[in-house]
Chain A
Amino acid sequence: MLGVKNLHKSFGSNEVLKGIDFNVENGEVIAIIGSSGSGKTTLLRCMAFLEQADDGIYTFDELNKDIRTITRKEIKELRMKMGFVFQSFNLFRNKTAIQNVMEGLVVARKMNSEEARKISLAMLEKVGMADRIDYYPDQLSGGQQQRVAIARALATNPEVILFDEPTSALDPELTGEVLDVMVKLAKEGITMVIVTHEMEFARNVADRIIFMEDGVVVEEGPADEILSNPKKEATKRFLRRILRNEEE
């Protein structure tokens, strides 16, 4: 459904993505893991065109073309079918929780505000934020902000939601509430691509895990297989390091 072939991206002389092949099928949950600097966030941002990739083939539904030739209009159309959850939440700070969720419906999709409000309320309920709808982002904790951000991404009924390290900016005691919401979404069959450092979570929700290092996909496969029985040396090394850190 959504995928890239031979994706390249450099920042100056620093090549961050060195020919990535990647695709996600309808209903699939994919976790992308790897150490910082491996290019996983850049990959996600290139798929949403928050970064312009240098080379590669881009596929989304019936769209299938050279990533350099995709027009502004096509980008806008594909973003309409996509949700994105940021590491730093990025809620609109001049709008309340419910206004944040309604914005995409009312302004971008011209829905009447009554209907948009109904949908937004349902989404905020789903993420457990129904009692905070009139709060401004600054009046919410990080975990609450991220849950509102998830509701905002859900409201437009996207075909796929991309999560860029959704819990990395949170205090450890607040990650649980966000991960719980994501587990719920995975169970509902929502297509998700998640860049994460939470291995236990990845094992529980991901159908497939992709391990990246130095701008290439080193290994990919079913979650259990990658985490319990990795084939490549780099994957083993990474998992050893992560698991040791988690025990501490």
Chain B
Amino acid sequence: MNDRFIRIVKILVESFPKLLVQCLKITIPLTVLSFFFGLILALILALVQIANIKGLKQFARFYVWIFRGTPLMLQLFIIFYGLPSFGIYFKGFPAAVIAFSLNLAAYNSEIIRSAIQAVPIGQTEAGYMIGLNYFQVMVRIVLPQAARIAFPPLFSSLIGMTKDTSLASSITVIEMMSVAKRIAAVYYEPFWMYMETGFIYLMICTILTKLQADFEKSLEWKQPDEVKVAMQTVEEDNRNHKFRWLGPGKVK
């Protein structure tokens, strides 16, 4: 029993740097790149729907339907194994980035679209009435508020992406999960190897969660301190207000 324990600890200690290196070299870049491209594409998909651009709107709906309606693993396989039948070849890493970006864009565009629609339409009307045009209303009034609404679910989607990158191991990308599998097979200690790998994923997500909390705080609309004190007296009045949940964060 004692020997077994020492052996496991040895394996875990030896494998930890290997896992970490692969995490830094592949898992994190894969996540960051996919999320970045996925977000840009999502914003475009959301805006053509909001602006109601004929043709493009229908395309966006169709796109979301396809990419939300099929498994991510299948999308990976089609790009990596399927496209070569048409003479289109991708290496594992770029294929994974493409599949993850396209998939994320579908989900994130829905988050962004609903966040924009959650900003009360009355503010858009008020913007028009003081002479702003559509673009000015969007950039100055609607999008800043939509960003605050979209932020938590977008971050959830980022955290989800971090873990979904493990699927890339199925298309020959040597990311953290592939390394774990290999080491587990060599030493035949799958339980402890996968526990260790899980621990690393958990650490990344813990850091991301902390980042989210900090970002959310920085997104709050700033106010002078004397206002913060004084507003406690107005709190009472506001409880009944119908759009209360869209407002700035609660006073500490």
Chain A positions near chain B (C-beta within 8 angstroms): 48, 50, 76, 79-80, 82-84, 86, 88, 90-96, 103-104, 107-109, 134-142, 144, 149, 152-153, 156, 171
Q: Please tell me the size bucket of the interface on B.
A: 20 to 34
A93 lies within 8 A of B140 (CB): no
Instruction: Determine how close the nearest CB of chain A comes to the CB of B218; give it in whole angstroms.
Output: 14
- Closest A-chain residue to B126, C-beta based? A90
Q: With the chains together, A139 CA to B140 CA distance in Å?
A: 20
Q: Is the CB of B247 within 8 A of A156?
A: no
- Complex Cα gap A152–B238 (Å): 21
B144 partner, pick from A86, A90, A94, beta carbons under 8 A: A94
Residue-wise interface mask of B (93-129) relative to A, using a CB-CB cutoff of 8 A (1 in contact, 0 not): 0000000000000000000000000001011011111
Count A/B pairs, Cβ under 8 Å.
98
Q: State in angstroms the CA–CA spacing of A50 and B237 once bound together.
A: 30
Q: Which residues of A are found within 8 Å of B130, using beta-carbon distances?
A: 103-104, 108, 152-153, 156
Which residues of B130-152 have CB atoms within 8 Å of chain A's CB atoms? 130-133, 136, 140-141, 144-145
Q: Within 8 Å of chain A (Cβ to Cβ): is B243? A: yes
Are B231 and A135 in contact, CB atoms less than 8 angstroms apart? yes
CB neighbours of B133 from chain A (8 A): 76
- Please pick, from B120, B136, B231, B241, the residue contacting A90 in the complex, using a CB distance under 8 A: B120
| 4 cross-chain pairs, A with B, having the tightest CB-CB distances, nearest first | A104-B130, A108-B131, A138-B247, A90-B122
User: 16 A–B contact pairs at CB < 8 A?
Assistant: A76-B131, A83-B129, A84-B126, A88-B120, A90-B122, A90-B125, A91-B126, A92-B140, A93-B123, A94-B145, A104-B131, A107-B136, A135-B227, A136-B221, A138-B244, A144-B234
